[in-house]
Amino acid sequence: MPKNRDRLLRALFQEAPEGIVIADKERRIVDINAAFTALLGYTLDEIEGQPTSVLYADTLDFETTGQSVFSEKGPSTPDENVLYQRYKRRDGSILNARTLAIRLLDEAGEVHGFAGRIHDLDALLPDAEKSVSRLEAERALLEALYRKTPAMLFSADQNGRIENISDALAVRLGMSGADALGHLWTEFLMEPDRNEAARLMDQVVSNGICKRAPYRFCGKNGSLVECELSAIVNATKGRQNLLVILDDVTARNRAQKRLESRSDEIRQFARIAAHDLRTPLRHISLFAEEVNRAVTAAGLSDVADDVNVIRESANRLASMVQSLLEFSVASDHSITPGRVDLGQVMERVLQTHADDIAASEAKMEIAELPVITCDAVLIERVFDNLLANALKYVAPKTRPHIQVTAQKLPASWVLEVQDNGIGISPAFRRRIFDPLTRLHSPDSFYPGNGIGLSLAQRIVEAHGGKIWVDAGEDGGSVFHVELPSHL
């Protein structure tokens, strides 16, 4: 057993990564390990029994070591026996080293020798230097980022005290970066938002992140700075830091509000205008009819034709105004959702168009349709329009063939209305959804006001869905309506 232990200790000594030298109490070399040979170039045969002074670059190093480690008292703390010395290698070159000197005691507690563990400082230093300069470079980069970035950001300690702030943010709030340091960031919020901020911070600390929370900051002279706040918590070595990035949405919110009130005004104006236009248009139409009767009776058939044109134009205008009015009312209509069987919706639509279907001998193929959450009245309008168009936009003497199918996607249904009609050229497949856009003149074979599809689009989008058109497989068109399965 002791033999095994000796072998093990010997191996540990020989294989140790640092150079080890053992000396007796007269400071004569007794043993060295392989790492020592690698560091200083001596083999044991060459220096065994020699005084340790042969190892030092000058006598001062030798003496300092002696005073500190080999004095009668010896080192009192482990730190005291760490020495920084210069050794001389076998080839005369110098080794800057850090030595840990250990006094070896016998069973009676008497010093009987010394061991030195030697580390090559030149091998250790570059790494340390590299880390220091890397840290300095990173700090300089971070500082440059805070000074130069156009982004509004700050970092705070775990109590919310600002530790660094970008110049862009300081300027936006009307102060210098130095003014903000050490202040609680919540001090710069508008009063009503402060309590909420405390709650948010608890949340950020527990979740580690917060994205785009709306906050109102107090800018220069008390002006309002509306921001979306995103924050992350960084925890290192028991310290929690907060990094906050602000997106200034003041201008965007203002523009949005302006736009909303402008569209309200426009909608109101359109409604009033459309409503008020109806009466004079009815009068034009009625009086044109009167005039038409009178001139026909007087045998003035040329004039009667002209008057007829006036009357038809007035009627068309009245119908457009009526559609616009319906469009604006339906656009304002808020959704009243419920579980809706689209199969039943389609049956009602087919009823509405029963005469046209019969007259054109249209072939109707309606697949099984799902039950989804939507506004039954509005969605019926969408399918009513798609079916009316599919029946209407067919070439003369063509028997309409209309297929309605449904496809399930993970979170939605796509309903398709396919026809064998005149088709829509790719250049117009988006534009037909704009209000009052028609691909045919009012006098053409295909009557209409160009409102139906724009209304359908509004309704579908209000449900969070999409509507688009493609070419059908054998000519014709396929209208796709994607609606979420649940609202």
Q: Are 100 and 77 in contact (CB under 8 A)?
A: no
Rounded distance, CA 54 to CA 387, Å? Answer: 106
Inter-CA distances, 279 with 286, 308, 315, 323, 324, Å = 11, 19, 12, 15, 15
User: Using CA atoms, how far apart are residues 87 and 58, in angstroms rounded to an integer?
Assistant: 8
Under rule CB under 6 A, residue 449 binds ligand ADP: yes
Nearest residue to ligand ADP, by Cβ distance, number only:
448
Name which position in 148, 212, 254, 440 contacts ligand ADP (CB under 6 A). 440
Which of 170, 345, 453, 460 is the binder for ligand ADP (CB under 6 A)? 453
Using CB under 6 A, which of 168, 372, 477, 483 touches ligand ADP? 477
Rounded Cα–Cα distance for residues 8 and 11 (Å): 5
Q: How far apart are the first and last CA of the chain?
A: 80
Residue range at the interface with ligand ADP (CB under 6 A); choices 15-23, 115-123, 296-304, 385-393: 385-393
Nearer residue to ligand ADP within complex by CB, 213 or 388: 388
The tokens for 266 are 């426009």
Which region among 22-30, 299-307, 354-362, 387-395 touches ligand ADP (by CB under 6 A)? 387-395
Q: What's the closest the beta carbon of residue 479 comes to ligand ADP, in angstroms?
A: 7
CB 166 within 8 A of CB 154: yes
Residue 439's φ and ψ, nearest 5 degrees, are -100, 10
Using CB under 6 A as the binding rule, whether residue 382 contacts ligand ADP is answered as no
> Which residue's CB is nearer to ligand ADP, number 191 or number 473?
473
Closest to ligand ADP by CB, 151 vs 471, is: 471
- Closest CB to ligand ADP among residues 31, 470: 470
Binder of ligand ADP out of 314, 393, 403, 420 (CB under 6 A) = 393
∠ Cα 21 23 29 (to 5°): 80
Q: Which residue has the tokens 């006094």?
A: 103
Residue 418 binds ligand ADP, judged by CB under 6 A: no
Cβ partners under 8 Å of residue 173, min gap 6: 180, 188, 217, 218, 219, 220, 225
CA 362 to chain centre: 50
Instruction: Verify binding: residue 288, ligand ADP, rule CB under 6 A.
Output: no
Q: Do 78 and 68 contact (CB within 8 A), yes or no?
A: no
Tell me the CA distances in angstroms from 105 to 5, 113, 115, 300, one per residue in order. 19, 7, 11, 140
Tokens describing residue 171: 């300027």
Q: Maximum distance among all alpha carbons in the chain? A: 149
Residue 472 is a binding residue for ligand ADP (CB under 6 A): no
Query: Could you say whether residue 190 binds ligand ADP (CB under 6 A)?
Result: no
Residue 258 within binding range of ligand ADP, rule CB under 6 A: no
Q: Does residue 420 touch ligand ADP according to CB under 6 A?
A: no
Span of 68-76, 105-113, 376-384, 433-441 interacting with ligand ADP by CB under 6 A: 433-441
CB-wise, 403 or 454, nearer to ligand ADP?
454
Binding mask 117-156 for ligand ADP (x = CB under 6 A): ----------------------------------------
According to the binding rule CB under 6 A, does residue 451 interact with ligand ADP? yes
Joined tokens for residue 99: 């030595």
* Interface residue list for ligand ADP (CB under 6 A): 385, 389-390, 393, 419, 421-422, 424, 432, 437-440, 448-454, 477
